[in-house]
Amino acid sequence: MRLLILSRSGELYSTRSLFTAARRRNHFVRIVDHLGCDLLIENGANKVFYNGQSLIGYDAVIPRIGHTVTGQGAAVIRHFESMGLLTTISADALIRARDKMSCLQVLSHKGIPVPTTVMVNTYAEIHHLHKKIVAYPKILKVLSGTHGLGVLKADDEQSLIVMMEAFYNLKQKMIVQEFIAESSGHDIRAFVVNGEIVASMMRTAPEGEFRSNLHRGGHGKPVLLSPHEREVAIEATRLLDLPVAGVDMLRSNRGPLVIEVNASPGLEGIETVTKVDVAKKIILYLESRRKGSI
């Protein structure tokens, strides 16, 4: 196959890993910066230009789109989709997955367990709606946050209100969530490719921290998921139309709770911790889609 990886840099671990896996499977592969792509819509014949050259003759695209450029990245993916290329994520799925509240809405509506969550849009409700969650501490999340930045713990009402007011003033969309005390400092990342869990790890926060993100100093170890956890993770990716995704879950007293589904999951943490060649699984998935379409 002829593959394109959309990435800001070939030096990034995930990009390199995908590039290597594709070459090992004897595919032609090229890395293209999505921010350098220009799009032409002409009489229904869409084209993508990169450095002034039309990108033609490719079979599939593997987007690695960062949070800050979701809209622009999605426009490029949509163009490739319209040109008939396979993709590991559709533009629509990327946009929806990037909105934490939308994800939780879809998942909860379809019966996937998630923590009780409140979205406050009006100043008046800053003082009220969060009371639907009774116990303290409560978690406050900025919707645009990633890598644990913008996830805070409020120990009492006074600090919660102060934080919410600050975010409101900064025009940041936010959610308040019940704090899952029994999983504090731990979460589970299940890496799903094409409806299969290909690798899973438990992340543990450093001493004194409740956020277990590896970017916040957490460390990971391989973990065996229960059949129910596997089922929940796989179903979450199916509902969000994400053939490649990292599903983050908390182990609570009432079973697994999905906190986030990552649409552009990094490979460094999961491959280093589990020693699974996740990039290869992604390439094999594209190969199977290609076979299916011939």
Supply the minimum distance, in Å, between the C-beta of residue 221 and ligand ADP.
15
196 to 235: interface string for ligand ADP, x by CB under 6 A:
--------------xxxx----------------------
Does 147 bind ligand ADP (CB under 6 A)? Our answer is yes
DSSP secondary structure code for residue 46 in this structure: -
Residues from 10 through 49 that contact ligand ADP (CB under 6 A): none
179 to 198: interface string for ligand ADP, x by CB under 6 A:
xx--xx--x-----------
- Binds ligand ADP by CB under 6 A, chosen from 18, 103, 139, 233: 139
Pick from 5, 10, 13, 3: which is nearest to 271 by CA? 13
C-beta of residue 116 within 8 angstroms of C-beta of residue 178: yes
Supply the minimum distance, in Å, between the C-beta of residue 94 and ligand ADP.
15
Examine residue 63 and say whether the peptide bond preceding it is cis (omega within 30 degrees of 0).
no
Query: What is the dihedral angle through the alpha carbons of 145, 73, 102, 167, rounded to the nearest 10 degrees?
Result: 30
- Binds ligand ADP by CB under 6 A, chosen from 163, 249, 259, 267: 259
Report the distance separating Cα 234 and Cα 289, nearest Å: 18
Q: Tell me how crowded residue 221 is: count the other CB atoms within 10 A of its CB.
A: 10
Supply the minimum distance, in Å, between the C-beta of residue 212 and ligand ADP.
4
Interface ranges with ligand ADP (CB under 6 A):
115, 139, 141, 145-148, 151, 177, 179-180, 183-184, 187, 210-213, 248, 250, 259-260
